[in-house]
Amino acid sequence: MTEETPEPRYQEAFVDAVGARLFYLHAGSGKPMLLIHGLVGSSANWRDNIGALAQHASVYAIDLVNMGKSQRVEGLDAGLAATANRIVAAMDALNLAEADIVAHSHGGAVALMLAALHPRRVRRLILFAPANPYSRSSDVMLRIYSTVWGGMLAWMLPYLPTPIQRIALGEMYGGPERVLDRYLQEIIESLRSPVTLRHVLRVIRCWCAEMAILEAAIRRVKRIPTLLVWGDRDCTVSLSSAIELNRKLRDSKLVVLPGGGHTVFEETPEESNRIMLEWLGRHSSPTSRLRDFFPSYLRRQKSQAANPKSTLIARELRSIGIAKILEVRELTGQGERVPSKRHRESERGVLGRLQRTLTLLNFWSS
């Protein structure tokens, strides 16, 4: 199957991070948005999404190390945490203090780990069929490719006849007829790199252990606004796991596209772009919600500098700390555990100070 599409407008560039040269595409201006591809993918996977997203954000689509046009590094740590830390290093090199993260499949698992390890670097998450600990759809494939014979098959796959390759990829795309020539060519070319193929096999062989680590880390992501997008014909990451992940991530929304496979953002880009932009427009980031909660303090900092009342408010806010407020909410609002006497005393103290701060805010803004 062939398809002709107009070339989107974006900048191609490289950035040096963690001793490797990373390729990325950039378009648009505004709040940063980082796009992370799946296993054996590249920034080119987002070609039909970048243009729409770049109308509202400064979009960076990166090639992970050993993938796409980025540098090949032999023996690289293939774990989720190591990959997430390399992305943070790339964000540092690009001067991105925080970003909305859009990710797919294995890249979605990396994004979840990144949010767990570096929550201040992530505003919101949009995850297309992210690999997760609750899916068992790919267990057989993982066991096969973790064996010696499976490794031999992986080395043969890039050189098998095209019809066989198309059938194999059809499981991901919701049917062989959906596998465009360009998708097939990009994946096969990537797998023909020995360093890339060895890296992919390392990812597969440590998959179960990494998913166990991710399952423990997901509880630290539950408060980050998250959009989950799945195709109901996804044979790679099960739809049932999407329901469980949606339950674990308390501030998440699940959207299921009928007839969609594992890569709905490529299969139906216009619909996927609409879903992303509508959700982003409706779901403000935590920073925005905090700005709405303390409008006078955060919007008029300069004019408040000479006001002794505002100085008192600022000192009180700093003494409380956002982390303490969140800790109290976790203890009092979720019903997961019964606070100890020490926790109850701490809770009363923090809530009391918060009450005083809100009183000062009301007095000052009146």
Q: pLDDT digit string (tens) for 294-328? A: 444 444 444 444 455 444 544 544 444 444 444 44
- The predicted pLDDT at position 298 comes to 43
Q: What is the DSSP letter of 339?
A: P
Strand extents, DSSP E, 225-301: 226-231, 252-257
- The predicted pLDDT at position 142 comes to 81
Residue 213 CB contacts under 8 Å (≥ 6 apart), including other chains: 79, 80, 81, 113
- Percent of the chain scoring above 70 in pLDDT: 73
pLDDT digits (tens, 9 = 90+) for 150-174: 888 788 888 888 888 787 776 666 6
The length of the chain, given as a count of residues: 366
CB-neighbour burial class of residue 122 (10 A; exposed 0-12, middle 13-18, buried 19+): buried
* DSSP calls for 133-194: TT--TTHHHHHHHTSHHHHHHHHHGGGS-HHHHHHHHHHHHTSGGG--HHHHHHHHHHHTSH
- The predicted pLDDT at position 174 comes to 60
Q: Which residue type is seen at 180?
A: L
Confidence of residue 288 (pLDDT cuts 50, 70, 90): very low
| 3-class SS of residue 26 | strand
- The predicted pLDDT at position 186 comes to 83
Q: What is the DSSP letter of 337?
A: S
**Whole-prediction pTM:** 0.75
The answer to whether residues 165 and 40 touch, using CB atoms and an 8 Å cutoff, is no
331 membership: H or E segment, kind and range: helix 322-333
Q: Number of helices and strands (H, E) in the chain?
A: 18, 8
- The predicted pLDDT at position 357 comes to 56
Q: Which two tokens stand for residue 353?
A: 């100070």
Compute the Cα dihedral for 101, 104, 106, 107 and give only its sign.
negative
- The predicted pLDDT at position 114 comes to 98
Mean predicted lDDT score pLDDT of the chain: 81
Q: Which two tokens stand for residue 20?
A: 């490797």
Distance CA 136, CA 211 (A): 11
Confidence of residue 349 (pLDDT cuts 50, 70, 90): low
Distance CA 229, CA 237 (A): 12
Distance CA 33, CA 46 (A): 12
pLDDT digits (tens, 9 = 90+) for 196-227: 999 999 999 999 999 999 999 999 998 899 99
Confidence of residue 91 (pLDDT cuts 50, 70, 90): very high
- Give mean pLDDT, residues 331-339: 41
- The predicted pLDDT at position 331 comes to 40
- Give mean pLDDT, residues 137-160: 83
Strand extents, DSSP E, the chain: 11-17, 20-27, 32-36, 58-62, 99-104, 122-128, 226-231, 252-257
Q: Which two tokens stand for residue 199?
A: 């890296």
